[in-house]
């Protein structure tokens, strides 16, 4: 045990260590978000909403998730780099880290030891405690990168994985130039907190409650409010049944904003080899 950690034990008997650097980091951002009422302006709120969509839907959902993790469609490499950089601005880790963790989630869904955010460990573990008790196999690049060798071979993705935190500096300076501290608090701090919990709800809530369109071996569910918060990712049972399909919402009323963006790219000729739902499953829905 070190001076900045506290030790406990997992269900499998392996030690877990509370990482105080992570606790202070996430705790500080949450505390700073409480300043929002004193810095309110409608334009700052608009900036936060816009960046929640841009960094969340385009960067994380479309970029990190459907494009890089599952390769459910292809775009030209320069555009792929731009989208991945937008994802890195979301403050959810570098692309190799994010992609490798999600691929392990699909390979070992709800396995208490092999799924980084296994819902079998309970709501709060899958929601955020996995970040506060980081396990080396999920957080050390030399270990996790083997699950994303396609990205690990790319020099730009290696750089982005190491330097994603530095991208917050130009983002913060841009927001300050546009609207002062209110834009920084809303567009960077409050946006990050809301986007974190939006994304984390897919790891936690959609493995706890909702409906199932497909009988799969895990506990994934379709959850409408999580889908609204995450631009379509909340149709999680659909996704676990067919993870490489670019479309998450299959029924007409399953709103999937990220899929709309993919359709725009396809119409413009920028998205190729878009993986669609199997005809038999799509017609059943």
Q: What is the percent of the chain with per-residue pLDDT over 70, rounded to a whole number?
A: 93
What are the pLDDT digits (tens) for 11-36? 456 688 999 999 999 999 999 999 99
What are the pLDDT digits (tens) for 53-79? 999 999 999 999 999 999 999 999 999
Quickly state the pLDDT bin for 270 (edges 50, 70, 90).
very high
DSSP 191: H
Name the token pair of 229. Answer: 């918060």
Mean pLDDT over each residue of the chain, to the nearest integer: 93
What pLDDT does 11 receive? 44
* 15 strand-pairing partners: 9
What are the pLDDT digits (tens) for 146-176? 999 999 999 999 999 999 999 999 999 999 9
Over residues 181-210, the mean pLDDT reads: 97
Name the token pair of 171. Answer: 């983002």
Over residues 173-187, the mean pLDDT reads: 98
Give the largest Cα separation in the chain, rounded. Answer: 58
C-alpha–C-alpha distance, residues 127 and 129, integer Å: 6
C-alpha–C-alpha distance, residues 120 and 23, integer Å: 23
Quickly state the pLDDT bin for 6 (edges 50, 70, 90).
very low
Match 């792929």 to its residue by tokens.
Answer: 80
DSSP 211: B
What are the pLDDT digits (tens) for 93-130? 999 999 999 999 999 999 999 999 999 999 999 999 99
Q: Is the pLDDT of residue 4 over 80?
A: no
What pLDDT does 15 receive? 80
What are the pLDDT digits (tens) for 35-53? 999 999 999 999 999 999 9
Q: 62 exposed, middle or buried (CB, 10 Å; 0-12, 13-18, 19+)?
A: buried
Angle separating helix axes 155-163 and 95-107, nearest 10 degrees = 100
Q: Is the pLDDT of residue 280 over 80?
A: no
What pLDDT does 279 receive? 78
What pLDDT does 282 receive? 56
Q: Is the pLDDT of residue 283 over 90?
A: no
What pLDDT does 259 receive? 98
What are the pLDDT digits (tens) for 216-242? 999 999 999 999 999 999 999 999 999
Quickly state the pLDDT bin for 281 (edges 50, 70, 90).
low
């Amino acid at each position: 045990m070190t001076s900045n950690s506290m030790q406990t034990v997992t269900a499998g008997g392996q030690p877990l260590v509370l990482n105080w650097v992570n606790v202070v980091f996430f705790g500080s951002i949450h505390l700073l978000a409480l300043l929002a009422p004193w810095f309110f302006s409608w334009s700052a709120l608009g900036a936060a909403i816009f960046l929640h969509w841009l960094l969340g839907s385009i960067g994380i959902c479309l970029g990190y998730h459907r494009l890089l993790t599952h390769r459910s469609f292809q775009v030209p490499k320069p555009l792929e780099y731009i989208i991945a950089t937008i994802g890195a601005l979301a403050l959810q880790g570098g692309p190799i880290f994010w992609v490798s963790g999600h691929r392990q989630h699909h390979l070992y869904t709800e396995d208490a030891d092999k799924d980084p955010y296994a819902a079998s460990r309970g709501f709060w573990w899958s929601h955020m405690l996995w970040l506060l008790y980081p396990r080396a196999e999920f957080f050390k690049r030399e270990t996790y990168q083997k699950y994303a060798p396609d990205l690990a071979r790319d020099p730009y993705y290696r750089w982005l994985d190491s330097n994603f935190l530095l991208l917050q500096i130009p983002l913060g300076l841009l927001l300050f130039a546009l609207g002062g501290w209110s834009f920084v608090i809303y567009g960077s701090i409050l946006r990050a907190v809301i986007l974190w919990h939006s994304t984390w709800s897919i790891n936690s809530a959609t493995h706890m409650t909702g409906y199932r369109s497909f009988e799969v071996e895990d506990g994934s569910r379709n959850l409408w409010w999580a889908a609204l918060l995450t631009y379509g990712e909340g149709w999680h049972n659909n996704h676990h049944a067919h993870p490489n399909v670019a479309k998450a919402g299959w029924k007409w009323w399953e709103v999937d904003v990220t899929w709309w963006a993919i359709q725009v790219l396809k119409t413009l000729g920028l998205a190729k080899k878009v993986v669609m739902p199997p005809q038999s499953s799509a017609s059943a829905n």
